[in-house]
Structure 1
Amino acid sequence: MDFDSIVLAIIAGLSVFGLVRVLDGPTVWDRMLGFALFSSKVIVAAVLIGIIINRTYMIDVAIIYGVLGFIGTIMIARFVERKGDV
């Protein structure tokens, strides 16, 4: 097992914490925090996979996923804050 595989396994393990917070969060805000945590770990994993396979388009995928995750978090926050009225 090389260093890249170990780091990727650690990132995957840490993303489980975000999923647990999303599924088991006592409040909506905890679930949003878990979603943001999971989203950031997916971005890091996409960049790391791009480095491992030597493809630069994976960085573009990570940037797009980051923007979509940010917009998703903002839309969920607006939905919750306005009690269902986006």
Structure 2
Amino acid sequence: MDFNEFVLITVAGLSVFGLGRVLIGPTIWDRMLGFSVFSSKVIVATVMIGVLYKRTFLLDVALIYGVLGFLSTIMISRFVEKRGDI
């Protein structure tokens, strides 16, 4: 196992913590934080895979996923702020 595989496995392991926070978070804000952590780890993994295998379209996918993750976090927080807890 080389360094790149080790980093990808580590990022995948850390993304499990983000998913755990989404599933067991006591408040909606904890769940949003877990979603942000998970989406950032997916972006890092996508960029790493794109660089490793020299697939430049994966960098575009990571950029789009980052923008969508940011917008969804903003939209969910605005919804919760106006409506209260879900």
- TM-score of the two chains, using structure 2 as the length reference: 0.95
- 1:7 and 2:7 matched: yes
Q: Which runs of 5 or more structure 2 residues have no equivalent in the other structure?
A: none
For 2:66, give the aligned amino acid.
Answer: G
Q: How does 1:30-45 map to 2 (within 5 A)?
A: 30-45=30-45
Q: Secondary structure at the residue paired with 1:55? A: coil
For 1:40, give the aligned amino acid.
Answer: S
For 2:75, give the aligned amino acid.
Answer: M
Q: Secondary structure at the residue paired with 1:82? A: helix
CA shift digits 1:15-65 (9 cap, x unpaired): 000000000000000000000000100000000000111111111100000
For 2:52, give the aligned amino acid.
Answer: I
Percent of residue pairs bearing the same amino acid type: 69
Cα distance in 2 for partners of 1:3, 1:20 equals 26
For these two proteins, the number of residue pairs brought into alignment is 84
- TM-score of the two chains, using structure 1 as the length reference: 0.95
Cα distance in 2 for partners of 1:55, 1:3 equals 19
Cα distance in 2 for partners of 1:17, 1:83 equals 28
Q: Which runs of structure 1 show a deviation greater than 2 angstroms over 4 or more consecutive aligned residues?
A: none
Q: Secondary structure at the residue paired with 2:26? A: coil
